Amino acid sequence: MVMLRNMIFATDNSNKVNEINGLMSENFSFRIITKTEAGILEQIEETGTTILENAKLKANYITEKYGFDCFSEDTGLIVDAIGGEPGVYSARYAGRDNDSEKNIELLLKRLENKADRSAKFLTIIALNIKKNQFIFEGEVKGTIIKSKRGDKGFGYDPVFQPDGFDITFAEMDTDSKSKISHRGRAFNKLIEFLNTYNLD
């Protein structure tokens, strides 16, 4: 029987854990566990001013405080016509309560008179393993449509239509979304790396 090593994912978002579990092959030698499952109950403040900084600080908090190998991810929606907003502030664009309805409302208002509605999601993963840090990125380009469509997914999914598709992320099932999504692409790079990493 293959011995699985635990790898902490610095999140308590079960959507994200399900997403990465759905991408791993059966012979993957790690079991992904959330930080709560690892006994780390405190919230890690995302005080960085970039997506990269936030990804690093979450992973570094766990490694520095508890000495565990782990990885974290941070994601933002970057909309060209409004200078890259909401970017690192995607979760709290319209206020600190991470209210997706209000965030979408504000985004649509900010784009009201803009012809260019191009956008991308960017995910950055920071992996701390055996005293080294590795960074993985994934992105998906698309368009912010004028009104919401679909009820799947979360966050900005109802107004994000990926390039090459005529449906939004909120109209796709999880598997189809994670095949092309920012996070799916970054997770795949992480999985590929861990598959070939020498653990001895």
Residues that bind ligand IMP (CB under 6 A): 74-77, 90-91, 98, 100, 103, 121, 153-157, 169, 181, 183
Classify residue 72 as exposed, middle or buried by CB count within 10 Å of its CB (0-12, 13-18, 19+): buried
Please identify, using beta-carbon distances, which residue of 6 and 98 lies nearer to ligand IMP: 98
Please identify, using beta-carbon distances, which residue of 63 and 103 lies nearer to ligand IMP: 103
Please identify, using beta-carbon distances, which residue of 7 and 78 lies nearer to ligand IMP: 78
C-beta neighbour count of 13 within 10 angstroms: 12
User: Is 74 assigned a catalytic role?
Assistant: yes
Give every CB contact of residue 52 below 8 A, 6+ residues apart in sequence.
Answer: 74, 124, 126, 135
Annotated catalytic residue, options 69, 74, 151, 175: 74
Q: Which among 190, 191, 199, 193 is positioned nearest to 24, based on CA atoms?
A: 191
If DSSP codes are grouped into helix, strand and coil, which group holds residue 142?
Answer: strand
Give min distance, CB of 62 to ligand IMP, in A.
16
Report residue 80 CA to chain centroid gap. 19
Give min distance, CB of 11 to ligand IMP, in A.
8
Q: Which residues have a catalytic role annotated?
A: 74
